[in-house]
Structure 1
């Protein structure tokens, strides 16, 4: 409109117009660079994750512990012994180990192995329990279960005297196998299977620093653990001394043994064969308690055998010496 150019503020005063600006002179460089990577949630001021981390640090400080990162889930004390994994579960059920329940996680893929496990459970009148995956994680202590697990009851260990009495009732010389610090349950299960196959009257294991009859040992024994007694002792050295007082000859398998296994005398007498751990072999105290150390002759550069293999070889040698009577009990 005519006259608007004279309105107050419509025109700049002479000498106040800004000239052309070439650059900011570096004043905006920091803004262009940004603020760096986004901090973690626990590092952000007043973030819920930060408050949670601070509370955890206070609890750790008051209890004398230091935080060592995320923890694995611990298995509940009253949880059943679970054998997990599709192949192990099917193999265990084929061997008809004394299970109490079959656990299946919700929305588990029904492949051939899972279907066979379900079929075997129905044939064996075994309860089938469908649980959430989180619940199965809790029961297994966070183990990789592939959505399936089988529960077995706690193993009932025998007494050493029961092993000797069983041999006496059969009119046979006792043949026992003792394991010194064997920690792999698969080795234990294999030894139990071999002991049953070659006519032994029982297996002896220590209570500490050694594997017990877990679900894995049950499966590896292929059902032999249901037929052969296994005794668990507090102190293996004292148990061997007790056997010696009962008239049992104790021999230990050792690569530097005094005699070769096939030259062992008195194999047809009451006998206990002691097998050492997978890596260290016989412990010093146990070796000192043995009446004799024997070695298994081997050709070539092989230094030692697996614990379960060594036990099998020794049991076969003794059974062969005793004749077929021990194998047809």
Structure 2
């Protein structure tokens, strides 16, 4: 008579339990994952990504994925707790997590200097939540892309991708080694660089003229670095009549994008 999977094994004093499919090949918690429904859905829908590596979902979310994308070989069902074990502590995954394929590389020459086009360049903005929120605003206001420095920017996964709510896969992101050289290349291609600085003489609304513009934002603590500021065509400030002269960089980016998106004659 076949033994029941829940019966005790007298030889070992242990109880047999069926192993969920997810436990096979379990990985250490990693920020290489993307989690959250909007972020995962956007990554799976993005034709510029390579093939996904692994996809974990609760049964309910697995049904939604199959209805949207068909049967995916990498899809594994797991309960919410098991999914959380693969992710950094505290990750709010909403029942789905993805080890995505790589994003296609974006070059500065891919950005077309069309009238009204706007790029964002981030100078050593390293907080994933801020960068994710900035990408989300860039998607909302139709920015042509975002430029990050190779060594001083967070990965486009993990908490950043969750904060971006899918914008990682909707906004072109270019990584460059040197921001000053990148600004020289962009201005040579017809872009106008405007750096945001609280001590600038003119407001952003006075500086913007509808030309293709790179908005350059620095870190919250240091602001724009001197060399980066020197490679901007103009410096401008966001007027703050309330007298409180400190904005979170993601809020500043949203305000600047709104101002840049307004029609100009």
TM-score, normalised by the number of residues in structure 1: 0.59
Secondary structure of 2:97's partner?
A: strand
Q: Determine the structure 1 residue equivalent to 2:168.
A: 225
Asked if the contact 1:97/1:218 (under 8 Å) is kept, the reply is: no
Q: Distance in 2 between the 1:293 and 1:207 partners?
A: 24
Cα RMSD (Å): 3.2
Distance 1:299 1:117, change over 3 A: farther
In the alignment, which of 87, 100, 103 is matched to residue 56 of structure 2? 103
Secondary structure of 2:139's partner?
A: helix
In the alignment, which of 128, 144, 150 is matched to residue 98 of structure 2? 150
Q: Distance in 1 between the 2:225 and 2:212 partners?
A: 23
Higher helix share: 1
Within-5 A mapping of 1:257-276: 257-265=200-208, 267-276=209-218
Name the larger-Rg structure: 1
Can you give the 5+ residue segments of structure 1 that lack an aligned partner in the other structure? Answer: 1-73, 105-113, 324-329
In the alignment, which of 235, 240, 263 is matched to residue 293 of structure 1? 235
Asked if the contact 2:42/2:169 (under 8 Å) is kept, the reply is: no
- State the 1:92 CA deviation: 2.9
- State the 1:240 CA deviation: 0.8
Q: How many residue pairs are counted as aligned between the two chains?
A: 226
Q: Determine the structure 2 residue equivalent to 1:211.
A: 154
Within-5 A mapping of 1:1-329: 81-83=32-34, 88-93=35-40, 95-98=41-44, 100=52, 101-103=54-56, 114-123=58-67, 124-125=69-70, 126=72, 127-129=74-76, 140=87, 143=89, 149-164=97-112, 167-168=113-114, 172-265=115-208, 267-322=209-264
- State the 1:159 CA deviation: 0.4
Asked if the contact 1:196/1:224 (under 8 Å) is kept, the reply is: yes
Secondary structure of 1:200's partner?
A: coil
Asked if the contact 1:89/1:117 (under 8 Å) is kept, the reply is: no
Can you give the 5+ residue segments of structure 2 that lack an aligned partner in the other structure? Answer: 1-26, 46-51
1:7-66 C-alpha deviation (Å, 9 max, x unpaired): xxxxxxxxxxxxxxxxxxxxxxxxxxxxxxxxxxxxxxxxxxxxxxxxxxxxxxxxxxxx
